[in-house]
Amino acid sequence: MNIVLIGYRGTGKTAVGKELSHKLRWPLFQLDAIIVEHEGCSIPAIVEQHGWNYFRDREAKLLQEVAEKDTCIIDTGGGVVLRQENIDRLKINGLLFWLNADPETITGRIQDDTNRPSLTSGKSFTEEVAEVLQQRQPLYMKAQDFIIDTAGRTIDSIADEIIKLFKKRVQGVEDSRVPG
């Protein structure tokens, strides 16, 4: 069973993924970073050269490979929930943790990051975050097994909560399979 981190950009998926990998000694698969490495350029450059559909296709193909692994951490991109088939694949062998934060926390975390392409046109940065977050929240809600609020929390405390919830759920599943 895998730990899968979903959520909007800037909610802490990458930092929490690294901490979980360290604490559990499980491999970490950072989907966006793997795509950047394979493509040899940044996500904004990929989107500029090929468009969002190309990027989402690459993401879905990579996710298909990674989702088949076991006992690993999967750090997804913020838009992974835009395709239901991605969620269906991840849920086969993973528990999905929605890392959530308010728009103010998110904008504070990512406002200086140039590796994140614009998701809307003609909007200010703050307007874009609020708009896209509002559009995606129902998708995150539908996909998640657990919601983790990351605003004002340490990476360590978030990772510990995820490990506790994961172990409780996996133990509960194992217990329910054992005949009485």
pLDDT band at 119 (very low <50, low <70, confident <90, very high): low
The reported pLDDT for the residue numbered 178 is 41
Q: Is residue 51 part of a domain?
A: yes
Question: Counting beta carbons within 10 angstroms of the beta carbon of residue 38, is it exposed (0 to 12), middle (13 to 18) or buried (19 or more)?
Answer: exposed
Q: Residue 116: which domain range?
A: 2-170
Q: Is residue 180 part of a domain?
A: no
CB atoms within 10 A of CB 16: 26
Q: Is residue 179 part of a domain?
A: no
- The domain tally of the chain equals 1
**Tokens 């103010």 — which residue?**
104
Taking 60 as the threshold, does the pLDDT of residue 121 lie above it?
no
Q: Is residue 158 part of a domain?
A: yes
Q: Is residue 102 part of a domain?
A: yes
Q: Is residue 86 part of a domain?
A: yes
Enter the tokens of residue 32.
């966006």
Q: Is residue 93 part of a domain?
A: yes
Which alpha helices (H) appear in the chain, and where do they start and end? 13-24, 31-39, 43-50, 52-67, 84-92, 103-110, 125-143, 155-177
pLDDT band at 11 (very low <50, low <70, confident <90, very high): very high
Tens of pLDDT along 23-67?
Answer: 999 999 999 999 999 999 999 899 999 999 999 999 999 999 999
Q: Choose between 31 and 116: higher pLDDT.
A: 31
Q: Choose between 166 and 178: higher pLDDT.
A: 166
Q: Is residue 43 part of a domain?
A: yes
Query: Residue 51 sits in a domain of what CATH number?
Result: 3.40.50.300
